[in-house]
Structures are given as structure tokens and as C-alpha cells.
Amino acid sequence: MQESAIVLLSGGLDSATCLAIARQRGYRCHALTFDYGQRSLAEIEAARSQALAQRVAGHRVLQVPLGEIGGSALTDHAIEVPSPGKEGIPATYVPARNTIFLSHALAWAEADGAAAIFIGVNALDYSGYPDCRPEYIEAFRRLMQVATKSGVEGRAITLEAPLIDRSKAEIIRAGSALGVDYANTLSCYQADSAGLACGQCESCELRRQGFAAAGIEDPTRYRRPAKS
């Protein structure tokens, strides 16, 4: 029987690639997207389009109350999205976001008997978020073993982070080879309601540099050109 996987799907470039990799590895994929009070609901639309294009077995959009908790430029509109290049962990960091996302994925995986969870974090061309690093993924793996009935009973669910050590250019090349349509992905922290990217934030910058380094044309629709 084909094994199932829960794949976190944000609507961004990384998670779209991660889904394509999970499919290539032979899993029956269920996509999981969160409506968490993010600035741009166009992200969720991009996730729906990816889920459809990649013919997932199911797609859930779960509401989680991160907007009520705040503490981030992405969920509290009183905090400005910073320009790229500042030192340290930027204001776009959302407290415990991946822990909240993975805990729901774990619940779904256990309830439905899925064998694996896929998350598209990468720790190379990234914003320095603590919950995108290999030590975080390792700590969540350890938690999964002791947190669940399936873990205690020896039917462990695995946590896969296939992009963790890849550059943005490598991710784009891998996804392109697997047929991912990046025109239907959205990386921008402050896209408008039509899905146009700002072209200025750190996420736009990482994306643009990635396409350039991969030698692949960037299909992103930007509102403004790159800063010179």
C-alpha cells in the first residue's frame, strides 16, 4: 500500500518544491496550510493552486490563532516589515510558528496513520529563523518519538526536511526539474491582494537572487523593481 505523508504547504517556493519531492519519493500527499493571520491571504490562494496543480490526495486549510498572540511583523500590522540585511533575527520572525504548524501536522499524521511529515525549511538562504535550523528539526524529531501513541508503540512518524541544506538556487533547479510552476507560488512578506510581490522585502530578495543564481527566469510578478 502506498504510504501517506502530510506536507506543510505555505504557498511559497520552498514548500511547493518540498511537495514535489515528497510526491517523487512515492508518497500519497496530503497538503496542510495555515490561516494564521498572516499579512497576505494571497499566500493561501497560492497554496490552493499548488495543491491542485500537484494533484494532492487532500488539502486542509486550518485556522490557528497566531494573530491573537501577535509578536511579529507578519501577524501584527502595527509592526513594520523590515528591509533586508539587518543584523540578527528579523521582526518577521513569528514566535513558535513552525512548532505550532508541526504539532498540527503531527496530530493529523497520527489520526490518519500517515508515515511521514514533510516541511520545506532551509537554513542556507533564509531569514535566520531559529525554527528553520537542523537542530530544531532534530529536536522536533525527538519530541515526536515521545509525544505520540504511535511513537510509544514503535510506529514512528518520520519528519523530513529535504531542503534543509540546499541553497535557494538548488531548490529552484530541483523544483523546475520536477515540473513545479513557480509562477503560482508567493514568497513575499507583504504581497497585495492580487498576489503581486513587493520586490523589496528579504523574502523577495532571497527569491530573486535564487532565480538569478539558478539561471532560470523569475516568473514572479513584482509591484516594484529590485532596489539598485
What is the binding site for its own copies (CB under 8 A)?
Answer: 60, 62-66, 68-72, 89, 93-100, 102-104, 106-108, 110-112, 130-131, 133, 135-136, 139-140, 142-143, 145-149, 151-153
Q: What is the smallest separation between the CB atom of 63 and its own copies, expressed in angstroms?
A: 6
- Residue 48 vs 223, nearer CB to its own copies: 48
Closer residue to its own copies (CB): 34 or 211: 34
CB of 66 to its own copies, least distance (A): 7
Identify whether the C-beta of residue 50 lies closer than 8 Å to the C-beta of residue 8.
Answer: no
When the beta carbons of 83 and 99 are compared against its own copies, the nearer one is 99
Nearest-approach distance from CB 166 to its own copies, in angstroms:
20
Question: Positive or negative CA dihedral for 97, 99, 103, 106?
Answer: positive
How many angstroms separate the CA atoms of 119 and 33, rounded? 11
Beta strands in 152-220, from DSSP E residues, in sequence order: 158-160
Which is nearer to its own copies, 148 or 158 (by Cβ)? 148
Supply the DSSP symbol for 222. Answer: B
Task: Let me know: does 189 contact 202? Beta carbons within 8 Å.
Answer: yes
Closest separation in Å from C-beta 83 to its own copies: 19
Contact 9, 33 (CB under 8 A): yes
